[in-house]
């Protein structure tokens, strides 16, 4: 790790930049992950994978709109065995830390996928309990149920062979802070907040039908930033473990808001659809300029600064 003004330590990971690639964007192959790492991300997160290959929903599955992005990718992924190979290939080619994102269709499957993903030795495992395009056996995202989240977190932690785990949460629940606390109590090393919100819908007024093939999808991008900042704020007041804050970060001031709300690291995702991987360097530079202008030497002193 380069010891520069914006380097951070997060749950044992040494990051050259607090910015990391959020799961689901440019994260399916070793080469796309490496291109993002080379563009200035402090860590990259692979697309969430499950036990078996999934084709996902038909196109259109991703719809950028004026204020953000609507998606119903439908958990498209090659399955954990193929993802292990991509991660191994990435790790041969890049030293930038990699977070492997996983999901399961029920509690036990999270355990099986964890047992497989650890063989790739990712630097961290992201436990995705919050995809808005999937429902648990009870009809709500796992991440909205405190008991299910606790069980999944404990199971993944027990099978993670010492690799730190972060649980990716949803804002679509009465209290994200309570869920985060339950994850911390059950062994989570970090919390990632938030997944896309909604679901939402966009209708094409000319054909008078929803645009997405799945009709509804998760909402992300600039329009969700106030929600994600508030979630990080609530979680910071409730847990001691570090927070990866993401949701609508498209410029330096957004990343600074996240950090001041309590995030140690900041996820960048939807903004890449419009700006490409160059966005990482743009935000890195913007944060450095802010530190310089405010006569600060290290980003760490800004974590949670808005709490006074």
Q: Which of 132, 246, 271, 277 touches ligand RRO (CB under 6 A)?
A: 132
247 contact partners, CB below 8 Å, separation of at least 6: 171, 193, 194, 195, 196, 197, 220, 224, 225, 227, 228, 231, 267
User: By C-beta, is 214 or 257 nearer to ligand RRO?
Assistant: 214
Residue choice 195, 257, 270, 284 for contact with ligand RRO (CB under 6 A)? 195
> Taking CB positions, which residue lies at the least distance from ligand RRO?
218
Q: Which is nearer to ligand RRO, 144 or 302 (CB)?
A: 144
Distance in Å, CB of 167 to ligand RRO, minimum: 12
Rule CB under 6 A: is residue 104 a binding residue for ligand RRO? no
N residues, the chain: 308
Q: Name the CA radius of gyration of the chain, rounded.
A: 18
Please list every residue from 24 through 83 that binds ligand RRO, using CB under 6 A. Answer: 24, 48, 71-75
Which of the following is catalytic: 131, 149, 173, 223? 131
Q: Restricting to residues 229-268, name those near ligand RRO by CB under 6 A.
A: none
How many Å separate Cα 298 from the centre of its chain?
24
> Quick one: which of 32, 114, 128, 153 contacts ligand RRO (CB under 6 A)?
128
Determine whether 173 is an active site residue: no
- Which residues, numbered 133-192, are part of the site for ligand RRO (CB under 6 A)? 133
For ligand RRO (CB under 6 A), the number of binding residues is: 14
Among 172, 196, 250, 264, binds ligand RRO (CB under 6 A): 196
> What is the Cα–Cα distance from 200 to 162, expressed in whole angstroms?
38
Strand residue runs (E) in 55-189: 62-65, 68-71, 98-102, 124-128, 165-169
CB 145 within 8 A of CB 127: no
Burial per residue of 270-303, b for 16 or more beta-carbon CB atoms within 10 angstroms, e otherwise? bbbbeeebebbebbbebbbebbeeeeeeebeebb
Shortest separation between residue 245's beta carbon and ligand RRO, angstroms:
16
| Cα torsion 106, 108, 109, 111: sign | positive
- Positions that interact with ligand RRO (CB under 6 A): 24, 48, 71-75, 128, 131-133, 195-196, 218
Which sequence positions are flagged as catalytic?
Answer: 131
């Amino acid at each position: 790790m380069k010891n520069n003004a914006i380097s951070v330590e997060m749950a044992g990971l040494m990051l050259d930049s607090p910015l990391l690639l959020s799961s689901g964007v440019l994260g399916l192959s070793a080469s796309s992950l490496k291109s993002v790492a080379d563009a200035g991300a402090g860590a990259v997160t692979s697309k969430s994978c499950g036990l078996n290959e999934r084709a996902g929903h038909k196109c259109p599955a991703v719809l950028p709109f004026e204020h953000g992005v609507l998606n119903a990718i439908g958990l498209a992924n090659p399955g954990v065995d193929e993802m292990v190979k991509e991660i191994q290939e990435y790790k041969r080619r890049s030293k930038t830390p990699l977070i492997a994102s996983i999901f399961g269709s029920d509690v036990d499957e999270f355990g099986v996928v964890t047992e497989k993903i650890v063989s790739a030795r990712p630097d961290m495992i992201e436990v995705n309990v919050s995809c808005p395009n999937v429902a648990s056996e009870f009809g709500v995202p796992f991440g909205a149920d405190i008991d299910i989240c606790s069980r999944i977190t404990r199971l993944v932690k027990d099978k993670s062979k010492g690799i730190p785990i972060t649980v990716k949460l949803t804002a679509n629940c009465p209290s994200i802070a309570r869920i985060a606390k339950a994850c911390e109590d059950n062994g989570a090393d970090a919390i990632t907040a938030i997944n896309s919100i909604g679901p939402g819908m966009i209708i094409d007024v000319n054909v008078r039908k929803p645009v997405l093939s799945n009709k509804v999808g998760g909402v992300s991008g600039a329009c969700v930033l106030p929600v994600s900042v508030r979630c990080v704020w609530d979680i910071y007041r409730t847990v001691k473990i570090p927070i990866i804050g993401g949701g609508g970060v498209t410029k330096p001031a957004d990343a600074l808001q996240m950090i001041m709300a309590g995030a140690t690291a900041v996820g960048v995702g939807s903004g890449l659809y419009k700006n490409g991987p160059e966005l990482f360097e743009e935000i890195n530079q913007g944060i450095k300029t802010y530190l310089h202008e405010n006569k600060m030497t290290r980003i760490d002193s800004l974590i949670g600064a808005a709490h006074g």
